[in-house]
Amino acid sequence: MNVRSWLIALYPRAWRDRYADEFDVLLEECLHSPLDAFDIFLGALDAHLELSYETNWRLMNMVNKLRTTILIVFAAYIGFIIGGLSLYGLVDDSPMAVLMKTDAALSAAWTLIQVGAAIALLAIVIGGLPLAWTVIRRALTSSRQDLRWLLVPVFAFLALVIYVAFMASVAFNRLQIPGVAPAVSPDNFPLGNRLLLAGGMLVFVLGAIASTAAVWIVVSKTDAEESTLRVSGLNTSIKSYEFAFIPAVITTLAMLLMLIATIIWGWLAYSALPQVFAKNWGLLLTSTSLSYAATVTIMAFSTALAFFGLARGRSSQKQAAS
């Protein structure tokens, strides 16, 4: 079996029966790199989640690509948030936080990170509102299975709130746990406190992954017709996937801005306080250098993933224009 046949075999049988010959010709023309193969893999995932094949294949492929673009950028944004929170944990209560009050350049780099975070969040909210309204309305009126998936982010958030309340009870000495101190410092950070904090980080990360997966599953079931919102009283409609593309671009550019600002911030911080990077001011008081490197790696990977998603969506728009 050659590569093209293997890629076609990834698609559902009903899809292959209808489009295999046409798709094989397309693959012969455009399959040039591993990224192309990965794009085809995502297309197969789209096809498995698509409930109906009674439509023009090229139109379906265009909609699937645009939809997956939005989902990839959203998933990349969630990953970037995890990296951003690790950066905040690295800075909080460290000598670098004090230095930023007097170092204008370091403070400016940190401000750029905050501005980028605000822009990205605003773009995600604006771009996702029409689609979120569609998904929630469908879940409440016709799809109980989708409603169960939408409850995953709610339960993840509640789990995080409960865990934070538990940690606060320990911090305010309302709850005493053997081996866990109410207050810690770099010189006094017991293993119990490290495990307690690590548990909170794990709850957040697992909740973020589960919530992202749940949103991906629900949105993947929303076809072009369902995602088109008709505005009452006006002779117009909003195509949710097309509407969300520009906010996805803004979100990705904001992530790139934050990544660059984080690298500049790290360079300035190291230039001013190299001794801090040689000590353990990182997450859970681990190596500062390793913690910072992990943060930048997460941000860089998330940003690259978002740009890949945009390239996939852009190709669908070119396909629509041709």
Task: Parse the chain into domains and list their residue ranges.
Answer: 1-54, 73-321
Considering the entire predicted model, what is its pTM? 0.78
pLDDT > 70 in the chain, percent: 80
Task: Report angle CA 131, 133, 119 to the nearest 5 degrees.
Answer: 60
The confidence score (pLDDT) of residue 52 equals: 45
Which of 2-16, 85-99, 192-206 comes out lowest in average pLDDT?
2-16
Asked whether residue 31 carries a pLDDT value surpassing 90, the answer given is: no
Would you say 5 and 31 are in contact if contact means Cβ atoms under 8 Å apart? Answer: no
Separation CA 246–CA 50 (nearest Å): 24
Separation CA 227–CA 320 (nearest Å): 17
Give start and end residues of each alpha helix (H) in the chain.
3-9, 13-30, 34-49, 57-91, 95-99, 104-141, 144-171, 191-220, 240-272, 274-277, 288-321
Average pLDDT over residues 165-189: 81
Asked whether residue 128 carries a pLDDT value surpassing 50, the answer given is: yes
pLDDT band for position 134 (50/70/90)? confident
Helix (H/G/I), strand (E/B), else coil: 315: helix
**Residue 45 vs residue 181, higher pLDDT:** 181
pLDDT band for position 235 (50/70/90)? very low
Mean pLDDT of the chain: 81
Asked whether residue 188 carries a pLDDT value surpassing 80, the answer given is: no
The confidence score (pLDDT) of residue 135 equals: 81
First to last CA, the chain: 32
